[in-house]
């Protein structure tokens, strides 16, 4: 009936968080920010391996770009010294810029790829860059199923 459908809608929209999978850091190259690309078994049923690996590899590339020591970082350092670090008040560092790009990328990945599969990636910066967490959302709970589908015979 209408009421069951109403419940269904509500239930459906509140897909429950069933599990969290954490992708740990890969310290094999030192303390540079890099995440393990090993595909966790808990996600095997939720997402394709290639998609997952692409995401993590892209994130790793972003972080590598942020931490790269090169021309731009030299310039930033010199400028900072020259201005007695007052430059940090007005300008955001290169790392921050890349972090914004990463946030946008993660948002986009969530919308396009992960949310349709009931997963959500959280930005690792929120956890101090220690882990990337994948939140696994459960599908509609059984209760709503039974509410909605009442067999005539039953």
Partner 1 sequence: MPSSGADTPKPSALIPVSTAACLLVGSTTLFFVFTCPWLAVTVSPAVPPCCAILFLFVMANFTMATFMDAGVLPMANEDEDKDDDFRAPLYKNVDVKGVQVRMKWCASCHFYRPPRCSHCSVCDHCVEDFDHHCPWVNNCIGRRNYRYFFLFLLSLTVHMVGVFTFGLLYVLNHMEDLWKLHCTVTLVVISISGLFFIPVLGLTGFHLYLVSRGRTTNEQVTGKFQGGVNPFTRGCCSNLEYLICSPMSPNYTERACKKPAVRVQPPFLRPEIERQIPMKVRDNGIQSSDLQNKGSSAGSVDLSNIKRLNTPPPLPPKPDHALLKSQLAALDEMGHHTKSIIPASIPTVPQLRPVLEAISRGSSPIPPEQLLKTSELQGSNKSPDLKTDSKPSPGRAKQQDPLPVQPSFPTNPVSSPLQLNSLTLNSRSLTLKHNYRHSSKSQLPAMHSEALMSNPMFSPSNVLANRSSSLSYDNLISPADPQLMAQRGGPPVGYHPHFMTLGPDGSMVQRPPPHAYSPVFLGVTRHSPQPRDPSPSMQGLTPRDPSPSLQGFIQREPSPSFQGLMPRDLAPQGITLRDLAPPGLALRDITSQSLSARELGPQGLTPQKSAAVRYDNLSKTIMASIQERRELEERERLQRLHARSQALYGPDTGVYDIPSRRSLPPDNVRPRGPTPPAYGSREFLMSTGILGYGIRSSPLSSSSTSSLTRGPKTSSSPLHSSSSSSLQSKGRSSSPAYCLPDRQAQPLPSSASTLPRMPSSSTSSASSYTSYSTIKRSSLTSSSEGKDSVSLGVLK
Site residues for partner 1, window 127-146 (CB under 8 A)?
127-131, 133, 136-145
Helix (H) or strand (E) holding 20: strand 17-24
Binding mask 70-109 for partner 1 (x = CB under 8 A): --xxx-xx---x--xx-------xxxx--x---x---x--
Q: Is 121 helix (H, G, I), strand (E, B) or coil?
A: strand
- Tell me phi and psi for residue 135, to 5 degrees: -90, 125
Closest separation between CB of residue 10 and partner 1, Å? 11
Can you read off the two tokens belonging to residue 32?
């540079």
Closest separation between CB of residue 89 and partner 1, Å? 12
Smallest CA-to-CA distance from 19 within 135, 103, 97 is with 135
29 binds partner 1 per the rule CB under 8 A:
yes
60 binds partner 1 per the rule CB under 8 A:
no
35, 59 Cβ separation under 8 angstroms: yes
- Which of residues 57 and 85 has its CB atom nearest to partner 1 in the complex? 85
3 binds partner 1 per the rule CB under 8 A:
no
């Amino acid at each position: 009936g209408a009421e069951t459908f109403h419940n269904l809608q509500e239930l459906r929209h509140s897909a429950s968080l069933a599990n969290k999978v954490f992708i740990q850091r890969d310290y094999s190259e030192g303390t540079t920010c890099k995440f393990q690309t090993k595909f966790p078994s808990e996600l095997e049923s939720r997402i394709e391996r290639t998609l997952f690996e692409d995401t993590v590899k892209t994130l790793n590339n972003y972080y590598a770009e942020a931490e790269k020591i090169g021309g731009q970082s030299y310039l930033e350092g010199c400028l900072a010294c020259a201005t007695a670090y007052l430059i940090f008040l007005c300008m955001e560092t290169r790392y921050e810029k890349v972090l914004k790009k990463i946030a946008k990328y993660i948002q986009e990945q969530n919308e396009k790829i992960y949310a349709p599969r009931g997963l959500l990636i959280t930005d690792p910066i929120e956890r101090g860059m220690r882990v990337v967490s994948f939140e696994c959302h459960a599908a509609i709970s059984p209760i709503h199923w039974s509410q909605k589908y009442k067999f005539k015979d039953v």
